[in-house]
Amino acid sequence: MKRQILCIAFFTAAATMAASAETINAAGATFPAPIYQKWFQDFNKMHPDIQINYQSIGSGGGIRQLTEGTVDFGASDMPMTDEQLSKVTKYKVLHFPTVLGGVVPTYNVQGVAMGMNFSGPTLAGIFLGTIKKWSDPALKKDNPGVNLPNEDITVVHRSDGSGTSFVWTDYLSKVSPEWKSKVGANTSVNWPVGLGGKGNEGVAGLVKQTPNSIGYVELIYAAQNKMDYGSVKNAAGNFIRADVASVTDAAAGEAKEIPADFRVSITNAPGKNSYPISTFTWLLIPDKIDNPTKKKSVTEFLKWMMTAGQGDAAGMFYAPLPKPVIAKEQKQIALIK
C-alpha cells in the first residue's frame, strides 16, 4: 500500500513538473510537418520552458480542431474558406504563411529520357482525358524534337485527400475553364480519368511501374527521391523547372497583390521565373490568446520562424518566404491580442 502511494505521488509530481513548462498544442497539415517538427524542437532548445506539440493529422483535421478549440493553433495547406472562418466564433483566425512548396508533374514515357515540357492546358487536357495519347499534337508542340510514342496515357492521381491535390487542381482550374467547370479544385475531386495512388509514394510507385503514365508529386518528395520531373509553362510563357528558387519567385511575383489576410492562391503567378504550381502553407493562429504566457510563446515563435527559422527551409527542400511577404507578416503579429 505504501509503495502504491509513493508511486502515485511520484507520477503526480512528474505530471506537475511537466506542466510547469508551457505546453502548446497544434495540429494540421502533413506537408510542412517535417520542418515544423524541426522548428518546434529547435525553438524548445532555445526556450526550454516552451513546448509545442504538433500533430500532423491533415489540413482538414487541423481546421476542425481549431474550430472546436481543442488546439491552440492549426496549420493548413490551403487557406480557410469564408464559410469555415464564419464557424469560428470565439476569435478571428489569422493566416501566417510559413514556407512554400511546389507540385511537379512526374512521368514514365518509354523512350523519353528526361526534361519534358508541359503547358497548363495540356496538363488539364491529359487529366480530363481529352488528350489520350503521348503523340498528341499539343504534347508534340511543347516538346519539339522529342520522340513521343503513339501510346495511351495512363493518368495517376492522389487517392487520399491532400493539399497537394488541392494545389494541382487549383492550378488546372486557373489554366483551363473546362477543368474549372467540370471538376474544380479541392483536396479530393471527382477525377474524370486515372488511377489513384495513396500518398506521394503511392503516386510515384504507380508512375514508376506503369509504362506511359503521368502523375504529380510534391517537389520535396521528388527532390528527396531524386526523381525526374517535367517543367511547366508559367504565366509569362516560359517553361520553368521547379526548384526552391523558382517556387520562392512565384510568391515574390504575387507579393505585391497579396491580400492583408494572406489567404491567396499563388498558382499561375506572374513573373518570368515563377514556377506556376506553387503554394504557401499556413499556420492558423487565433487573434485572441487568453493565456498571457501562451500568447508570448506563440508570438516569440512566429518572430523566430520568420527570421532564423527560414534558414532551415531550403536544406529541407522547402522554399523560404520572399522578403516582402515576411515584412507584411511581421506586422500581422501585432494583431494577436
Partner 1 sequence: MASAVVTAPPQSRPRKLTNFWRDGDQISHLVTLLFAASVLLVTVFLVYELWIHSGPSRAKFGFSFLTGKTWDPVAEQFGALPFIYGTVLTSFIALAISVPLGVGAAIFLAELAPPKLSNACTFFVELLAAVPSVILGLLAIFTLVPIMRQYVEPFLKDTLGYLPWFQGPAYGVGYLTAGIALAIMTFPFVISISREALLAVPPEQREAALALGATKWESTWQVVVPFARLGIIGSIFLALARALGETMAVTMVIGNDTSIHTSLLAPGYTIAAIIANEFTEATGDVYLSALVELGLVLFALTMVLNAAAQLLIIATTRKGSRQD
CB of 324 to partner 1, least distance (A): 30
> Binders of partner 1 among 184-223, rule CB under 8 A?
184-191, 194-198, 202, 205-206, 209-210
Query: Which residue from 283, 275, 284 is spatially nearest to 251, judged by alpha carbons?
Result: 275
Q: Which stretch binds partner 1 (CB under 8 A): 33-41, 125-133, 159-167, 298-306?
A: 159-167
Select 49 or 68, whichever has its Cβ closest to partner 1. 68
Question: Rounded CA gap, 258 and 278, in Å?
Answer: 14
Q: Is 89 in the site for partner 1 (CB under 8 A)?
A: no
User: Smallest distance, Å, CB 186 to partner 1?
Assistant: 5
Query: Which residues 311-330 are close enough to bind partner 1 by CB under 8 A?
Result: none
Task: Tell the smallest beta-carbon distance from residue 185 to partner 1 (Å).
Answer: 7
Q: Which is nearer to partner 1, 49 or 152 (CB)?
A: 152
CB of 61 to partner 1, least distance (A): 5
Site string for partner 1, 249-288 (x = CB under 8 A): ----------------------------------------
Nearer to partner 1, 101 or 197 (CB): 197
Shortest reach from residue 193's CB to partner 1, in Å: 9
Which cell goes with 39? 522548428
Smallest separation, CB 183 to partner 1 (Å):
7
| CB of 162 or CB of 246, closer to partner 1 | 162
Edge-to-edge strand ranges of the sheet holding 93-108: 50-55, 22-28, 73-76, 278-286, 93-108, 213-218, 154-158, 195-197
Binder among 51, 122, 143, 154 for partner 1 (CB under 8 A): 154
Least separation in angstroms between CB 50 and partner 1 = 27
Q: Pairing relation of β-strands 50-55 and 154-158? A: unpaired
User: How many chain residues are in contact with partner 1, going by CB under 8 A?
Assistant: 36
Question: Would you give the binding string for partner 1 spanning residues 34-73, x where CB under 8 A is met?
Answer: -----------------------xxxxx-xx---------
Single out the residue of 97, 163, 320, 322 in contact with partner 1 (rule: CB under 8 A): 163
Are the C-beta atoms of 118 and 105 separated by less than 8 Å? yes
Binding site for partner 1 (CB under 8 A): 57-61, 63-64, 81, 83-84, 152, 154, 159-163, 183-191, 194-198, 202, 205-206, 209-210
